[in-house]
Structure 1
Amino acid sequence: MKKIIYIAIVSIFSIQLISCNEDLLDIPNPNTLTQADFWQTEDDARLGVNAMYAMFYKPGLWTRWMYFRLDLTSDEGFSSSPWLELGDWTRFQYINYNFWEGNVETWRDTYKAVWRANQVLTYVPDIEFQNNDEKNRLLAEAHFLRALHYYYAALLWENIPIVLEPSQPEDLPEQRPLEEVWAQIEEDLLFALDHVPVSRDAANVGRPTKGAVNAFLARTYMQQHKWTEARQALDYFFIGEGAGRYSLVPNYQDNFTHLNENNSESVFEIQFSDVNRGGDGEVPNATMTTHRPQFFAPNGIGWSDGEARPWIVNAFKSERTVDDELDPRLRFTVFYPDLEADFGDKVYGRNWEWGSRVYFRKYARDYFRDNEDYFAQNNFRMVRFADILLLYAEVLNELGETSNAYQYVNTVRGRANLRSLEEAYPAIGNNQEQFLERLKMERALELFSESVRWADLKRWGDLSNPAQLAAVAQRDPDFNNFVIGRSIRLPIPQQEVENNPNLNQNPQY
C-alpha cells in the first residue's frame, strides 16, 4: 500500500468560539467537533497524528514554496520568472518582508504544522490506551514532525519562537536564539528515537523510523558542528541497528520517479499522491500532490519559475567514468542543451528550443508524459542513503579520520561507475581541507536540487567568509547581492514583528 495518510481534517481541530454577552449568538455549530469533544479515544489520537502529515501538502511547505527557499536560493538554481517579486526572493532582494509566497505562507504553515504536533503532544498523553507502546509511538511521531519543521525553520529564519503548547490567538510567543532552537530539535528527536521502530510495515510506510530520526539528528548536530554527536547518530547506519538495512538502488533515476518509491535507498520521504485533486484547504479531498514539476518545468511545458545554474553540467563533464563515458547522473539531474546529443533524450519528447537554458530534471515526469500539471505524485526523498554516506564521510573527515572517510564517498561514486576518489584525486591524500573541498563537489553531483544545498553552504561557512562567498558567486551571480551577516537568514514576516512585542526583526533587516 503506497499511500497511507488520507487526511481526516474536518472533524479534528476545534474552533475557538468568541464569547459574547448575547446568548442568542452563542450557539455551538452542531456540525463541528470542539476540542472538548475530541481527543477522547485511541481513534481520536490516531486521526490527530495522521492530520499532522497533511501539512506536507500545503503550498507554504513541501507542495510548493520550500523548493524556492532551499533549491533556488542556493547556488544550484535561480528564478527568471516574470513575477519579479517572486524572483527577487531567490536573489536576496527582500523588500516586502510580508511577501506572501516568499515568506509569510511558509512561516504560517510551519507554525500551523507545529500547532498540530503540539495538540497531539498535549492531549494524547491523557487518553487511555490498551497498549502504551502504541501511545508512545504516536507521541514519537509528533515529536519527530515538530522537530522536522523546526529544523527547516532554523535553516530559514534562525531566531524564532519556540512554541510547545497549542497556541491561542492572543499568544505572544518569545523569540529564542538559534542555539535554543537546535536544542529543542535535539530534545524532540531524542524522544522520538526511543519510541519509533526500526522499520515500518506496508500499511505505515511514510512514518518515521529510527533511521529517519537518526538522519535528522545528524543533520541537526552537523549544522552546529557537533561532529562527535553527529557521528554517533550516523553510526546507526553502519555499525548500529540500521547496518545493512539501507543500500543504493542500482538505477539512480529510481530515486525521483513514482515507480520505485520507498526503496532500499529511502530513509525518509514525503508520500505524495495524485488520488486527491482538490485545493489546499482543510477539506476531505485536499490535494496530496507536489507542484514542483509544474513550477520548475522547461519553458512551454510548465511555468519555468525555477531554473538550474549551468555550472553543474560542466562539473559533471569534468570527469569521465571508468568506461570513458559521461557520468550517468547528469542525464537524470538536469535538462540541458546537449542532452539529446549526449544521451539521446528529448525534453518531454520534444526538441530543445530554449537556447542555453538549463532546467531541473529530478522529479520531472517526462519519463511517462509530455507535460506537467499541479498533481504530481512523485514522492519527495527528503533523506536518501547516498546523503547519509556523504554526511558520514564529512563527519569522519572533521574528526580527523580522513583515510576512513574515503570508502563512503567511493560507494556513491561506484554507482556512477567512477573511479575511486583515491585514484581520481590522489593529491588529496589525508589533507582534511582538500578532502572537504572535493566532498563539496561530490555532494553537488549526487544531491543537486534535492533541497540540501542551502544547509550545506551554511554548514561549510561558505556564506560567512568573503573569499568563499566570492567562489559561490562565480557559480551563481545572485550571490553578488548576498550580504554577510544578513542574507544568511530570511527576514521574519514584518506583520509578525509588528503584532508581537516579543519578536525582533532579524539582524540588518
Structure 2
Amino acid sequence: MKKIFLSIFFAGLLGVMTGCKKDLLNQDNPNTLTTEQFWKTESDAQKGVNAIYHMFYQNGGFNRWMYFRLDLASDEGFSKSPWVELADWTRFQYINYNFWEGNVNSYRDVYKAIFRCNQVLENVPGIEFDQGRKTQMIAQAKFLRGLYYYYAAILWENFPIVTVTQRPEDMPRQSSLAEVWALVEKDLTEASAGLPEQWTGNDLGRATKGAAQAMLAKALMQQKKWAQAKTALDYLVTGAGQNYYDLVDFKDNFRADNENNKESVFEIQFSDANKTGEGDGPNSNMGSNRSQFFAPRDIGWSDGQARFWLVDEFKKEKTTDNQIDPRLQYSLFYPGSEADFGVKTYGRSWTWGADEAWFKKYSRDYMRSNEDYFNQINNRMIRYADVLLMYAEVQNELGQTADAYTYVNRVRARSKMAPLAAAYPAIGNNQTLFRERLKTERALELCGESVRWADLKRWGDLDTQAGVNKVAERDPDFRNFVVGKSIRLPLPQIEVENNTNLRQNPGY
C-alpha cells in the first residue's frame, strides 16, 4: 500500500511539474537578494564597502590568525602551544599544507576580502549617485584590495591575482611576486588619489590618503624602491599630511582610550558590542581574539609569547633622566615589570618563568584581570612613529644618512631617549651602521605590532645562511629556517590540486 501511494504521489507531482511554466519553478529566494537585485542604490554601494571592512573581524585575518604569521614567526615571538601543529607553523615546520589555522583559513579570508573588493569595483561605478561619494567608495575598495595583496605578498609571495568577481569554475593563473607588487602599487596609488585626507563623525577610521601613501611606501620599500618610497612618505612627513599626524603618549596607541588619535594613520576598528561568534551576520563578533591567545598562562591561552631578548634590549640604554626605557612598561609582560615599574600583571604578582615574556600591547591588563574573544581595543595597523622610522630608513638607503637622524630622534625623544648621535656617536654617517641601529630602533618602538616579519625580509636578513644564523641567535626557531624556501608560506595544497594553473611554492 505504501509503495502504491508513493507512486501515485510522485506521478501526480510530475504531472503538476510538467504542467507548470518554467519561470514558476525558477523563483528567487525572497529572503536573499541576487546580484542583479542588489547593486542599485548608494546604500547598496555603502553596504558593499562596509562588507570589505568587516573582513577584519574574520578569524583568518586580523581577528586572530594573522598575528601568528606576522608576530610569532618573526624573531620577536614564538609558540609553546600544546597544540603542536599550531606551534610548528610558527617555527617553519610545515607538514600539512592544508592546516586550517596555520594556512588555509588565512588564505581563504584574504581571498574573501579581495572578492568583496572586486564586487565593489565592478558594480559601484554603474550606480547613479553623487560622484564624489562614489569616488571615495571606489578608492576605499582599491585601498583594501591593495592592503590584502600586500599581506599576500609578504606571506605567500606568488599569490594568484584576481581582479574580477570570481565564479566557482574559475582557475586563476599563477602570479609572480613582481606581478603582485605591481597590482599593490597600482591599487594604492589610485586609492590615494580618491581618498579624503581625513574623515569625521561615524566615518572616522576609514582609509585616508595618508593610509594609502603609507601602505604604498611599505610595498615600495619591500622592493627596495627607495626613491619612490620616499616620495610616497613625503606627503605624511614633509607635505600636506604632516598637518594631520603627530606622536602622542606612547601607551595611548594600545588602549581603548584615545583611539583614532593623531598618531593613527590606519587602525582596525574593533568593538566588544557583539559577544557572539565570528561570521558575516549583523550581530557577529567585531572584537579581536589576539589578547586571548597571546596573554600569559591562566589569563589567556598563551599560544604566543615574546622572545626575552626584547626585554634585554630595552634595558641596554637608559633615558636622559637615567630611567628604564618607558616603552618597556607598555610593550611586554616580564618577570621584573613589578619591580621596574610598580605594575602587576593583570593585577597580580608575577607567577611565571623567570625568563618568560609576553606581548603587552593591546592587552587589557589596565582595565580587567583576564582576557576573552571580544577585545575592543583598535589595532593600530599603521601609526606615525612607524612612518617616521620608515622615512629615516629610506633616507639612509638613499645616502642621506645625516638627514635620517632627525626622524629617529623624534621617536626617541618621546620616550626621553637621547639623540641617536649622542647615544651612539660611532655610527656617524656610516650607512651600514645606521641601518643596523635602525633595526633595533624599530624593535623597541614597534615590537609586537606585526611589522617585524616584513622588516626581516626587507633587510635581507633571511636571504643567506649567515643572516639566518644571526637571527637564530635571538630566536632558536630559525634553526629550522631553510633559505630560499621558508621565506614564504606554502600555498594550501588543496588550492594547488583544485587549480591546474597553480604550482606549489618553491621548495615545498
- Category of TM-score, reference length = shorter chain: over 0.9
1:202 deviates by: 2.1
Q: How does 1:293-332 map to 2 (within 5 A)?
A: 293-332=291-330
Match of 1:78 in 2: 78
Match of 1:3 in 2: none
Match of 1:45 in 2: 45
| Contact 2:157–2:176 (CA under 8 A) maintained in structure 1 | yes
1:260 deviates by: 1.1
TM-score by length of 1: 0.94
Structure 2 unaligned blocks of 5 or more: 1-20
Deviations 1:299-325 (A, max 9, x none): 110000000000000000000011111
In 2, Cα distance between the equivalents of 1:367 and 1:81? Answer: 25
Name the SS of the counterpart of 2:64 in structure 1: coil
AA of the residue aligned to 1:80 = K
Match of 2:149 in 1: 150
Name the SS of the counterpart of 1:268 in structure 2: strand
Match of 1:210 in 2: 209
1:278 deviates by: 2.1
Name the SS of the counterpart of 1:327 in structure 2: coil
| Contact 2:42–2:127 (CA under 8 A) maintained in structure 1 | yes
Q: How does 1:388-407 map to 2 (within 5 A)?
A: 388-407=387-406
Match of 1:345 in 2: 343
Deviations 1:127-166 (A, max 9, x none): 111x211111100000000000000010000001100011
1:493 deviates by: 0.1
Name the SS of the counterpart of 1:504 in structure 2: coil
Deviations 1:271-314 (A, max 9, x none): 00011122112211011000001000001100000000000000
Match of 2:193 in 1: 194
Name the SS of the counterpart of 1:37 in structure 2: helix
Larger Rg, first or second structure (1 or 2):
2
Match of 2:124 in 1: 124
Name the SS of the counterpart of 1:194 in structure 2: helix
In 2, Cα distance between the equivalents of 1:279 and 1:214? Answer: 34
AA of the residue aligned to 1:100 = W
- Of residues 274, 277, 287, the one that matches 1:276 is 274
Match of 1:6 in 2: none
1:378 deviates by: 0.2
Match of 1:450 in 2: 449
Name the SS of the counterpart of 1:371 in structure 2: coil
Name the SS of the counterpart of 1:61 in structure 2: coil
Name the SS of the counterpart of 1:381 in structure 2: strand
In 2, Cα distance between the equivalents of 1:355 and 1:124? Answer: 55
In 1, Cα distance between the equivalents of 2:25 and 2:98? Answer: 35
Does 2:371 match 1:372? yes
More helix by share: 2
In 1, Cα distance between the equivalents of 2:471 and 2:139? Answer: 39
Name the SS of the counterpart of 2:291 in structure 1: helix
Structure 1 unaligned blocks of 5 or more: 1-20
| Contact 2:237–2:388 (CA under 8 A) maintained in structure 1 | no
Deviations 1:236-265 (A, max 9, x none): 01221112321110x211100001100010
In 2, Cα distance between the equivalents of 1:473 and 1:378? Answer: 32
| Contact 2:331–2:360 (CA under 8 A) maintained in structure 1 | yes
AA of the residue aligned to 1:290 = S
Deviations 1:420-472 (A, max 9, x none): 00000000000000000000000000000000000000000000022221111
1:28 deviates by: 2.3
Name the SS of the counterpart of 2:38 in structure 1: coil
In 1, Cα distance between the equivalents of 2:273 and 2:156? Answer: 34
Distance 1:484 1:30, change over 3 A: same
Higher alpha-carbon deviation: 185-194 or 379-388: 185-194
Does 2:101 match 1:101? yes
Does 2:258 match 1:265? no
Match of 1:110 in 2: 110
1:416 deviates by: 0.9
Give the alignment's Cα RMSD to 1 decimal.
1.1
Match of 1:17 in 2: none
AA of the residue aligned to 1:47 = K
Match of 1:463 in 2: 462
1:82 deviates by: 0.3
In 2, Cα distance between the equivalents of 1:445 and 1:384? Answer: 14
In 2, Cα distance between the equivalents of 1:362 and 1:50? Answer: 27
Q: Could you tell me the percent identity over the aligned residues?
A: 62
Name the SS of the counterpart of 2:340 in structure 1: helix
In 1, Cα distance between the equivalents of 2:353 and 2:36? Answer: 61
Does 2:69 match 1:63? no
Aligned length: 487
In 2, Cα distance between the equivalents of 1:478 and 1:454? Answer: 14
AA of the residue aligned to 1:57 = Y
Name the SS of the counterpart of 1:383 in structure 2: strand
In 2, Cα distance between the equivalents of 1:285 and 1:243? Answer: 38
Match of 2:383 in 1: 384
1:57 deviates by: 0.3
Match of 1:15 in 2: none
In 2, Cα distance between the equivalents of 1:375 and 1:283? Answer: 16
Name the SS of the counterpart of 1:165 in structure 2: coil
1:27 deviates by: 3.7
The structure 1 segments of at least 4 consecutive aligned residues displaced by more than 2 Å after TM superposition are: 21-28
In 2, Cα distance between the equivalents of 1:382 and 1:270? Answer: 7
In 1, Cα distance between the equivalents of 2:280 and 2:411? Answer: 41
1:24 deviates by: 8.0
In 2, Cα distance between the equivalents of 1:180 and 1:291? Answer: 33
